Structure 1
Amino acid sequence: MCFSAGLVLGILGTLLHGNILVLGSTETGTVLPWGAALALLMCLMAQLWAGLKSGSLAEPVLMGATTFTVATIAYLWPGPDQLVVPYSPEAMALLPGPTLASLIWWLGSATVTLVAMVLVKWIVVRDRAASR
């Protein structure tokens, strides 16, 4: 179940991460990658739910690893039909918003898994100590 959820989250996050908002002019405006932030929030909530429901770290780790694998495949996908813009100085100069959003989604999917693991472990240990 967590593997399937990780696949779905990886695909949805990859599709969603490209939504950005630019405040100001296109050339000098502030980029707000709200799609990447929403995708990472979805992943965090799903991993927390899975870990707290099971009381184990195995479920959020499997879900997060699967999500990160999907994001990595999309990040490294060759060819002109990419869903993610890989980082390069040239890409950052030409497409700063999409490049930043792609980098946040890719690296953030791994970071969210680590955060979920720490939170699940902390909450499970706290609840077990409180029930004694």
Structure 2
Amino acid sequence: MPRPVLLGICFASGVVLGVLGTVLHGNILVIGEVGSGVVVPWGAAAALLILLLALLWAGTTGRSLLEPLVLGGTAFTVATIAYLWPGPDQLVVPYSPLAMETLPGPVIASLVWWLGAGVVTLVSMLISSWILAKDR
């Protein structure tokens, strides 16, 4: 596959996965009392796993680190736009002391998805470089 085509696929996949992760991250499980229970952001974890698998595919298919960088950077940019989006129709609950006090589950899930997208991108680049170095 020509490299420009693969980079275009990675960019489009980053947009799709950024939107999908933003929608999916809101699924949480609260174990115990609502105000004092343990929050399990399983939607954010699932979104990060899907992103990691796509990033590893991009890195091993392109045989370089540029493809996962484009895919992950695009997904992180979409997540950041959703995180910073102003107004009452937000898909992500940004951190503030008041939001953390009243909606701890959605705030934690939002932080896990937003920051996790960047961390997973860096981790996937390390894993991809390790895989590519072993293949040489």
**TM-score (structure 1 length as normaliser):** 0.96
Name the residue aligned to 1:97: 105
Name the residue aligned to 1:23: 31
Deviation (angstroms), 1:33: 0.1
- Provide Cα deviations, 1:53-74, integer angstroms capped at 9, x if missing partner: 1111010000000000000000
Distance 1:109 1:71 in 2: 8
- Provide Cα deviations, 1:21-54, integer angstroms capped at 9, x if missing partner: 0011111111000000000000000000110111
Unaligned stretches of 5+ in structure 1?
none
Percent of aligned positions with the same letter in both sequences?
65
- Say how many residue pairs are matched: 128
Name the residue aligned to 1:82: 90
Distance 1:90 1:47 in 2: 35
1:113 is matched by which residue type in structure 2? T
Q: Which residues of 2 match residues 1-132 of structure 1 at below 5 A?
A: 1-128=9-136
3-state SS of 1:31 partner: strand
Distance 2:102 2:57 in 1: 39
Tell me which stretches of 4 or more aligned residues in structure 1 moved more than 3 Å.
none
Distance 1:87 1:25 in 2: 21
Deviation (angstroms), 1:7: 0.2
> What is the aligned-residue RMSD (CA, Å)?
0.5
Unaligned stretches of 5+ in structure 2?
1-8
Name the residue aligned to 2:6: none
Distance 2:86 2:66 in 1: 32
